[in-house]
Amino acid sequence: MLLFLQKKKESEIDTPSTRAAAIRDEALRLGFDAVGFAPARLGPEVRARLDAFLAAGMQGEMGWLADRAEQRAHPQALWPEAVSVIALGMNYGPDHDPRDLQAQREVGAISVYARHKDYHDIVKKRLKALARWMVERWRGSELKVFVDTAPVAEKPLAQQAGLGWQGKHTNLVSRSHGSWLFLGEVYTTLDLAPSTPGQDHCGGCTRCLSACPTAAFPAPYRLDARRCISYLTIEHKGPIPEEFRAAIGNRIYGCDDCLAACPWNKFAQAAREPGLIPREDLTAPRLAELAALDDAGFRALFSGSPIKRIGRDRFLRNVLIAIGNSAEPALRPVAERLCADPSEIVAEAARWALARLPAAAST
């Protein structure tokens, strides 16, 4: 009789709600800042938005968005056995407004997310630790972990799991962390009690839309990636269209303007994860020094950084556009030297920069 009661008690404890509570506690212990749960399903509106985005060609050169659209819009199309999704967020908030750097014309502005170690590695390491704990606790269950390198609709899932809502800039907004959350997901065969979905709190605010230097938002909640500085400086492989170059300013990798403009950032805190503390040498790097990098120097400087993946030539293309926007005569010799660079994408940007730089004042 005692054994029967003990088994019944254990069975009652292991419910979708108690599982979710235990996972939340462990995830927070591991260093995640936000945790939520959702069924492994998304409504048809997610696929409809994605189809409209692709039909308009707004993905630019990001062909992978179309290649696996079905799996991106439907979690069970990626993994049919998935029952629940655990959405997790890690805060990477800056301790200052990143837009302040744009006034310093002799330095480059790197997006906040890329000023430290590659967040993919940091988040995935924590996800794997959580996964090992889950598999040990619920033997026989299965799971998969993702950090934005798989066809996963991260932001809709995060909203469904209650981490926040997709703002008018299309990024996730959290009432606790503003616009500064890295996202990761665990797809699992466990049945977990869902969180209350996030509700849109943008109201009539359009600060993020107005902040975009290149008018990349044709309407609220719609992004034309082909006009986005993050896309142009990271994903775009060829010469950056001249119509956007002046607006890029000194942004040499990514752009934070729409994120930084969000008033919900007043509740955000600076990142506490050691691996997400900005490197001093990437906070305000001097353009002249970056322009001197050869391939080996580029790889050494950005070892372990997400910047490494775009390669030296694309990066120097961005640096030279910033040099061309600097109005600093002292940077003319830098641009002149790179006009003869073996890479045409670098040489073309150097010629453009040189044509815009004022001549040094005669003495």
- 51 annotated to bind ligand: no
183 marked as part of a ligand binding site: yes
Residue 223, marked binder:
no
Q: Give the pLDDT confidence score for residue 156 in this predicted structure.
A: 97
Which stretches of the chain drop beneath a pLDDT of 50?
1, 3-6, 8, 10-11, 363
Instruction: Tell whether 17 is in a known binding site.
Output: no
Tell me how many degrees the CA angle 244-250-255 measures, rounded to the nearest 5: 70
339 is in an annotated binding site: no
Burial class from Cβ neighbours inside 10 Å (0-12, 13-18, 19+) for residue 114 reads buried
pLDDT at site 12: 56
Q: What is the pLDDT of residue 104?
A: 95
Nearest to 70 by CA among 42, 38, 47, 45: 47
Strand partners, 145: 186
Among residues 34, 160, 180, which one has the least CA distance to residue 94?
Answer: 180
172 is in an annotated binding site: yes
Measured CA distances, 165 to 41, 119, 251, 260, 340 (Å):
17, 21, 27, 16, 48
Ligand-binding site membership of 212 (annotated): yes
Tokens of 354: 């040189």
By annotation, the residues acting in catalysis are 148
Q: How far apart (Å, rounded) are the C-alpha atoms in residues 150 and 206?
A: 31
User: Which ranges in 40-112 belong to alpha helices (H)?
Assistant: 44-55, 64-67, 69-73, 75-78
Hey, how many other C-beta atoms are within 10 angstroms of the C-beta on 77? Answer: 16
